[in-house]
Chain A
Amino acid sequence: MTTARVDYIKYAALGLLATAATPAQAQLGTETTSYTLFGTPGLILMPTAEVAADSELAFSYSQFGPNANGTLTFQILPRLSGSFRYTKLDNFWASGPLRGQDFFDRSFDLQYRILNESKYLPAVSVGIRDFIGTGIYSSEYVVATKSIGDKLRVHGGLGWGRLASHNPIGNIGGPRPDWDAGKGGTLNFSQWFRGDFAPFAGLSYKVNDKLTFKAEYSSDAFTVEERRGTLEYNSPFNFGIDYEVSPAFHLNASYVAGSMFGAGLTIRLNPRKPQARSGNEKAPLPVKPRPSRADSVAWSTDWVSTPEDHADIQRVVSDALGKEGIRLKALALTATRAELKIDNKRYNSQPQAIGRTARILTHALPASVESFEITVTQNGIPLSTVTMRRSDIERLEHAPAIDMYQRVTIDEAAPSALRNSDLPNHDTRFTWALAPYLALSFFDPSSPVRGDFGLRFSAKYELTPNIILSGAVQKSIFGNLDDDTYLNTSVLPHVRTDGALYAQQGDPAIEHLTASWYERPGKNLYSRVTVGYLEKMFGGVSAELLWKPVDSPLAIGAEVAWVKQRDYDQLFGFRDYDVVTGHVSAYYDFGNGFSTRVDAGRYLAGDYGATFSVDRTFANGWKVGGYFTKTNVSAEDFGEGSFDKGIRISIPFEWALGTPSKSESSAQLRSLERDGGARLQVDGRLFDWVEDGHGDAYAGRWGKFWR
């Protein structure tokens, strides 16, 4: 049953302890908390060489004149930040079929700190704006920032492209080369740092912790907007103030181009700065040490042959665990050993669930039971087994958690699914929920935000612990997802672009109705078969196999599905389109806070290609990442954006609330969802939950074992 002991985990935990001993992480200096109207760290419109704190995630919205920006900026590494922006320009189209309409655009920026500020030298950063979109903001810059005292900073730089539209002073390589944005989504590499360049400069003055004044000389002359008559440009000087309402919330106001007032707000979140004090949950049950061995009654093993005693113990353990949000799935006892299988429904940190289980066992089990084997399960599938000695629990209850870590073993669990006959109680097999939902859709070409609000009824029944029936019905109460009149011109099978039709006709809708079967086909192997109405737009059958050793940073998976497109009314019928889709996936955890994943295969529209993604992950469960999908669909056929790409963010509730929770709020922000590179959505994909019960889930969070 046992496999290689998970030694690397120990090193990881020790490593964490070692790094933690030096409290401050490497600081680059010249940080700022103040963002531009474009949602990047900096002045008003102009960039600076400042950086945000490492791993800061900033959501901002701002408006000036006809220009509105919604931006997400992430400090990917201490030196590197990336931004994704959605822009609306009022009345942009002066002629043509869109005349009088607004212009909506998406853009990506990157900024990199080359040189940190020193006594005499300034900090220097280099950046590119809108390097992958349709190019309205395309520009590059090099900028320096020097602090004078604690409060004043002076900034100056050179800009190319749009940032050279006011008063250029020279050029590199003649005129800036033309670049055909086409459908967007391609790199404008040939333009970078080419053509005219112009200087820009500015000052920022931090009056106190809350208030910052800014002034700048801008090299952006708003040439395009002025030509179209949507705004008036009178001056290169801009002025602004930034006010910190709370550390997470900033407001700013400005006067731009001598003609417009601007205002904005920024919400700053950081995985390293939890919104709530952690550890507000109730104290755990204290460990109950056993009486001395001289107490022969307490240490008797007569109970082993008494079935009633086994049943009593099982009931006591099951009830006590239930109060901790942990379900007892199986309990087998011998005179000296207890083997438990649990399903942790509450604790974001598996060690905390294991620790609380062990504490309960010290109260419930007869004194002769010395060895605890606690197996974490999910969907009826055992994931990992933590083995410990009861005498260690008693001895180390008040010692640092690392001491206990050195005494336990963490192994792969025996590869057999739970059976009904294992279950101590059957009444937890049916669960249901009636809850409101809100579905939001942002930034389609004709409206920045659409939403749908309604009620959702969901229910689950576990036929056996590893065969689960699940369904959900939803009814919209109000919303405007369905009034999208955008003409669907996609030349590919409309696998994703008929969303408005689904919203119009699917009310009420069967969101999903499935039967899933999870299994352990062998050592290091996990499998899933799901049949039914898998998601809003497709039904059919999907099968998946995952190879993932409990202590390996590498995992490999394969998935294949035959699916048929569902009717727009989202009841039981199907449309004509069906497809075989599937992927081979490789997952790799670099161990330095970054993980990557590659999925190659056939997508819903029958196109072939691969999806590449990288996530920055944090021990407390935060994930911020990006992905892109390239398939054999041409940019022309794909439509706006050329290929599918996006950003995903996952924020654990525990971080926001300070009390334990396994739930998280996750969002995937796509640049533009089209039919190419579209994947089937199916619940219960193996990697997502198998990973939760494997090595890394213990390593970084072992400190919570005794919490």
Chain B
Amino acid sequence: MLGFHLTQPLRAAGFALCAVVGLTACGSDAQEIELSKVTGDFLKQASGKLTSKVGKGKSDAKAATGQSAAPADPNVLVAKALAATDGPIAIVVRLDTNAVLAMNPVGRNGDHVTWGSAPGQGITYNRGVMTNTRGLGEDLMSSRIDAAVSAITSRNDADYTRVHYYLGDLGQTTELRLNCALRRSGTEKVVVGNIDEAAAILKETCRKDEISFTNIYWVDGKGRVLKSSQWVGQRIGSLAIQNLRL
């Protein structure tokens, strides 16, 4: 007699209602209450977006967590970041959105150093060249870039192949094989934070069919990448990475 019957009834809608009447799920069984929590968060976010469109928004609150949509005064940011720790620190800006992260090293495995941010993003570099990212969404999962790393850190012109791995929409691994050319294009003194070094500028241009990008590295005489602009993938675009203290 009951026609369409939902076995696991459309609880999502239920929780939407629940949030409207001000109820929240509670308990220790994560799976039982997950939907309600998620729906609640979603509604909060949605209403947050609305209020930020109407009023001034909450960009201050976001900056405090280490991620902000629009950096205010870069000098203030640099000073703040340097004061936060005694060790190495870098700021990373996603060029498409101007979102800013302060990062510091959290793990080392041979030549690979993984940097982390307080909100939970991670970037791993092989001697300063990005090899993978985490927590950005649509991450660069891994790469084979040994030729690129040795050419960049030795500041030599070179042509080579980069192989990037991503996760596709169904969760499957996808491969992107790019042909790259690395060329020196002048020198520049890099002065920012605690860094004051002469550096060679290297431009790396890569292409695969309609996908192309240019990475730029400022590399000092010891082969250290002082600052750079490096491409993550089609959906994230490029990150500007600025070391403040090595």
Distance A20 CA – B171 CA, assembled complex (angstroms): 11
Contact mask for chain B residues 104-124; partner A; CB cutoff 8 A; 1 contact, 0 none: 001111101010100111101
Known: A272-B170, A703-B172. A440 touches B3 (CB 8 A): no
Known: A398-B124, A458-B32, A666-B7. A286 touches B106 (CB 8 A): yes
Contact mask for chain B residues 1-23; partner A; CB cutoff 8 A; 1 contact, 0 none: 11111111111111101100001
Known: A20-B168, A432-B28, A499-B2. A668 touches B7 (CB 8 A): yes
A119 CB to nearest chain B CB (Å): 24
Stretch at the interface among B66-74, B134-142, B238-246: B134-142
Q: A398 near B131 (CB under 8 angstroms)?
A: yes
Within 8 A of A (CB), among B161-201: 165, 167-175
Q: A444 near B235 (CB under 8 angstroms)?
A: no
Distance A227 CA – B204 CA, assembled complex (angstroms): 74
Of the candidates A458, A460, A671, the one whose C-beta lies within 8 Å of that of B3 is A671
Give the nearest-CB partner of A654 in chain B.
B171
Q: B141 near A703 (CB under 8 angstroms)?
A: yes
A669 at the interface (CB under 8 A from B): yes
Task: Collect the chain B residues with CB atoms within 8 Å of residue A16's CB.
Answer: 172-173
Q: B5 near A673 (CB under 8 angstroms)?
A: yes
A168 at the interface (CB under 8 A from B): no
Among B4, B15, B25, B109: residue with most chain A CB under 10 A: B4
B33 at the interface (CB under 8 A from A): yes
Among A106, A277, A278, A436: residue with most chain B CB under 10 A: A436
Q: B25 near A433 (CB under 8 angstroms)?
A: yes
Q: B107 near A20 (CB under 8 angstroms)?
A: no
Contact mask for chain B residues 224-235; partner A; CB cutoff 8 A; 1 contact, 0 none: 000000000001
Give the nearest-CB partner of A393 in chain B.
B109
Contact mask for chain A residues 649-684; partner B; CB cutoff 8 A; 1 contact, 0 none: 000010001100111011111111110000001000
A99 at the interface (CB under 8 A from B): no
Distance A658 CA – B26 CA, assembled complex (angstroms): 23
Q: A20 near B7 (CB under 8 angstroms)?
A: no
A434 at the interface (CB under 8 A from B): yes
Q: A444 near B139 (CB under 8 angstroms)?
A: no
Known: A278-B167, A286-B109, A666-B7. A707 touches B139 (CB 8 A): yes
Q: A460 near B122 (CB under 8 angstroms)?
A: no
Q: A436 near B17 (CB under 8 angstroms)?
A: yes
B137 CB to nearest chain A CB (Å): 3
Distance A667 CA – B7 CA, assembled complex (angstroms): 6
B150 at the interface (CB under 8 A from A): no
Give the nearest-CB partner of A13 in chain B.
B173
Stretch at the interface among B34-42, B50-58, B84-92, B213-221: B34-42
Q: B4 near A441 (CB under 8 angstroms)?
A: yes
A537 CB to nearest chain B CB (Å): 12
Give the nearest-CB partner of A661 in chain B.
B34
Of the candidates A272, A398, A439, A441, the one whose C-beta lies within 8 Å of that of B126 is A398
Distance A178 CA – B35 CA, assembled complex (angstroms): 50
A1 at the interface (CB under 8 A from B): no
Q: B114 near A286 (CB under 8 angstroms)?
A: yes
Stretch at the interface among A159-167, A399-407, A548-556, A582-590: A399-407
Give the nearest-CB partner of A286 in chain B.
B107
Q: B2 near A441 (CB under 8 angstroms)?
A: yes
Task: Collect the chain B residues with CB atoms within 8 Å of residue A702's CB.
Answer: 173
Task: Collect the chain A residues with CB atoms within 8 Å of residue B173's CB.
Answer: 13, 16-17, 20, 400-402, 702-703
B153 at the interface (CB under 8 A from A): no
Among B7, B12, B235: residue with most chain A CB under 10 A: B7
Q: A20 near B1 (CB under 8 angstroms)?
A: no
Give the nearest-CB partner of B235 in chain A.
A277
A417 at the interface (CB under 8 A from B): no
Q: A436 near B23 (CB under 8 angstroms)?
A: yes
Q: A279 near B138 (CB under 8 angstroms)?
A: yes
A497 at the interface (CB under 8 A from B): yes
A152 at the interface (CB under 8 A from B): no
Of the candidates A287, A437, A459, the one whose C-beta lies within 8 Å of that of B11 is A437
Distance A398 CA – B126 CA, assembled complex (angstroms): 9
Q: A488 near B168 (CB under 8 angstroms)?
A: no
Give the nearest-CB partner of A349 in chain B.
B171
Interface of B is mostly: mixed
B75 at the interface (CB under 8 A from A): no
Within 8 A of B (CB), among A432-472: 432-445, 450, 453, 455, 458-460
Q: A325 near B2 (CB under 8 angstroms)?
A: no
Distance A287 CA – B18 CA, assembled complex (angstroms): 42
A90 at the interface (CB under 8 A from B): no
Q: A665 near B1 (CB under 8 angstroms)?
A: no
A704 at the interface (CB under 8 A from B): yes
Q: A620 near B32 (CB under 8 angstroms)?
A: no
Task: Collect the chain B residues with CB atoms within 8 Å of residue A220's CB.
Answer: none
Q: B121 near A283 (CB under 8 angstroms)?
A: yes
Distance A246 CA – B36 CA, assembled complex (angstroms): 25
Distance A146 CA – B137 CA, assembled complex (angstroms): 40
B36 CB to nearest chain A CB (Å): 5
Task: Collect the chain A residues with CB atoms within 8 Å of residue B134's CB.
Answer: 279, 282-284, 707
Known: A288-B107, A700-B170. A668 touches B17 (CB 8 A): no
B62 at the interface (CB under 8 A from A): no
A558 CB to nearest chain B CB (Å): 22
Of the candidates A397, A437, A444, A681, the one whose C-beta lies within 8 Å of that of B7 is A681
Q: A400 near B17 (CB under 8 angstroms)?
A: no
Task: Collect the chain A residues with CB atoms within 8 Å of residue B143's CB.
Answer: 400
Task: Collect the chain B residues with CB atoms within 8 Å of residue A272's CB.
Answer: 169-170
B34 CB to nearest chain A CB (Å): 5
Give the nearest-CB partner of B169 in chain A.
A272
Give the nearest-CB partner of B119 in chain A.
A282
B64 at the interface (CB under 8 A from A): no
Distance A450 CA – B35 CA, assembled complex (angstroms): 21
Distance A488 CA – B2 CA, assembled complex (angstroms): 11
Distance A661 CA – B34 CA, assembled complex (angstroms): 9
Task: Collect the chain B residues with CB atoms within 8 Å of residue A289's CB.
Answer: 108-110
A97 at the interface (CB under 8 A from B): no
Q: B137 near A618 (CB under 8 angstroms)?
A: no
Give the nearest-CB partner of B13 in chain A.
A438
Distance A154 CA – B38 CA, assembled complex (angstroms): 45
Q: B9 near A439 (CB under 8 angstroms)?
A: yes
A656 CB to nearest chain B CB (Å): 9
Distance A400 CA – B86 CA, assembled complex (angstroms): 33
Of the candidates A106, A397, A436, A445, the one whose C-beta lies within 8 Å of that of B18 is A436
Task: Collect the chain A residues with CB atoms within 8 Å of residue B18's CB.
Answer: 435-436
Distance A674 CA – B15 CA, assembled complex (angstroms): 29
Of the candidates A398, A497, A658, A671, the one whose C-beta lies within 8 Å of that of B109 is A398
Distance A668 CA – B107 CA, assembled complex (angstroms): 47
Distance A537 CA – B171 CA, assembled complex (angstroms): 39
Task: Collect the chain A residues with CB atoms within 8 Å of residue B120's CB.
Answer: 281-283
Known: A17-B175, A434-B25. A283 touches B10 (CB 8 A): no
A274 at the interface (CB under 8 A from B): yes
Of the candidates A284, A285, A497, A619, the one whose C-beta lies within 8 Å of that of B1 is A497
Distance A175 CA – B174 CA, assembled complex (angstroms): 56
A245 at the interface (CB under 8 A from B): no
Task: Collect the chain A residues with CB atoms within 8 Å of residue B14's CB.
Answer: 436-438, 453
Give the nearest-CB partner of A352 in chain B.
B171
B44 at the interface (CB under 8 A from A): no
Q: 13 pairs across A/B with beta carbons < 8 Å?
A: A21-B175, A287-B109, A398-B131, A401-B165, A432-B28, A433-B29, A438-B13, A444-B2, A459-B29, A499-B1, A657-B38, A661-B38, A667-B8
Name A residues whose Cβ lies closer than 8 Å to a Cβ of B: 13, 16-17, 19-21, 23, 86, 106, 271-274, 276-289, 325, 345-346, 349, 394, 397-402, 430-445, 450, 453, 455, 458-460, 484, 486, 488, 490, 496-497, 499-500, 618-620, 653, 657-658, 661-663, 665-674, 681, 700-704, 706-707
Q: Which 6 A-B pairs rank lowest in CB-CB distance, beginning with the nearest?
A: A286-B107, A438-B14, A283-B122, A442-B4, A282-B120, A433-B27
Known: A282-B121, A486-B1. 14 other contacts (CB 8 A): A16-B172, A20-B174, A21-B175, A106-B3, A278-B171, A283-B121, A438-B11, A441-B5, A443-B3, A450-B2, A455-B23, A496-B2, A653-B35, A706-B141
